[in-house]
Amino acid sequence: MIFCVAIDGPAAAGKGTISKAVAAYFGFAHLDTGLLYRAVGKRVLDGLDPVAAARTLTAQDLEAGDLRTSAVAQAASKVAVIAEVRAALVTFQREFARREGGAVLDGRDIGTVICPDADAKLFVTASAETRAARRFKELSGKGQPDTYDQVLADVKARDARDAGRAEAPMVAAEDAALLDTSTLSIEEAVAQAIAIVEKSRSSAL
Ligand code: DC
């Protein structure tokens, strides 16, 4: 059985949590595609050329412990603008999407570029302030020193870069279901996402 769920949206809207929960519920594999860009961004911070870093990315690079910092997130958003970097990561993502047993991919361009024929598409959003508050809580929990205002500025800068780039900009696919998590609990957001995927699954059966 091949079934691809594409989940896109801006930073800290809840994509990661929702994607993991949807994958667990349906027994699908999950790929956080942001991690690929973060791993490339990290290698660039370590001194590599972005295109070379993307072309020689290994599974080990994805396991680097410090990919969740603000500095790596900004570096990821910057390398993600480069067409050759994106091109180097396409095949891996498309093969993952077609794996037997079903797959959930989350990112910015899954429903538009990576899997335009995905069986279910969601675009998960929330206000910049809500997202910054969530990310601030997460980063402070890890002892990272960013202030709320810094996190909000980072979120807005990333939104602008991710949505404004020429290559595969972050945008909801025309046929994506919109899920605004601003006023939803995690449980409510997950339940709504599962219901959306379930609907596509029963029409695909
Ligand atoms: O989802 P994330 O915050 O971990 O993503 C980090 C950056 O990677 C994001 O700001 C833009 C880029 N990205 C992308 O361009 N396309 C994707 N499919 C996933 C992430």
Q: Would you state the pLDDT for residue 3?
A: 97
Residue of 33, 134, 170 best suited for mutating to test ligand 1, as the one with most atoms within 8 Å of CB: 33
In ligand 1, the atom with minimum distance to the C-alpha of 38 is: 6
Identify whether 187 is part of a domain.
yes
Does 204 score more than 80 pLDDT? no
Domain that holds residue 147: 4-193
Q: Would you state the pLDDT for residue 26?
A: 97
Q: Would you state the pLDDT for residue 202?
A: 87
Q: What is the pLDDT of residues 135-179, one digit of tens each?
A: 999 888 888 788 999 999 999 999 999 999 999 999 999 999 999
Q: What is the pLDDT of residues 7-43, one digit of tens each?
A: 999 999 999 999 999 999 999 999 999 999 999 999 9
What b/e readout covers 121-133, taking b as 16+ CB neighbours within 10 angstroms? bbbbbbebebbbb
Q: Where are the alpha helices (DSSP H) in the chain?
A: 15-26, 34-45, 50-55, 59-62, 70-79, 83-97, 128-141, 148-164, 186-204
Using an 8 Å Cβ cutoff, are 124 and 59 in contact? no
DSSP 127: -
For ligand 1, atom 18, name the residue with the nearest CA. Answer: 107
Using an 8 Å Cβ cutoff, are 1 and 101 in contact? yes
H/E element, 178: strand 177-180
Q: Would you state the pLDDT for residue 103?
A: 98
Q: What is the pLDDT of residues 78-112, one digit of tens each?
A: 999 999 999 999 999 999 999 999 999 999 999 99
Report how far ligand 1's centroid is from the alpha carbon of 49 (Å). Answer: 18
Identify whether 205 is part of a domain.
no
- 38 φ/ψ sector (left φ>0, alpha ψ -120 to 50, else beta): alpha
Report how far ligand 1's centroid is from the alpha carbon of 19 (Å). Answer: 14
Report how far ligand 1's centroid is from the alpha carbon of 170 (Å). Answer: 9
Q: Would you state the pLDDT for residue 109?
A: 98
Identify whether 167 is part of a domain.
yes
What is the DSSP code string of 61-91? HHT-TTTTSHHHHHHHHHHTT-HHHHHHHHH
Q: What is the pLDDT of residues 106-128, one digit of tens each?
A: 999 999 999 999 999 999 999 99
What is the DSSP code string of 44-60? HHTT--HHHHHHT--HH
Tell me how crowded residue 66 is: count the other CB atoms within 10 A of its CB: 10
Return the CATH number at 124: 3.40.50.300
Identify whether 74 is part of a domain.
yes
Tell me how crowded residue 94 is: count the other CB atoms within 10 A of its CB: 14
Q: Would you state the pLDDT for residue 143?
A: 84
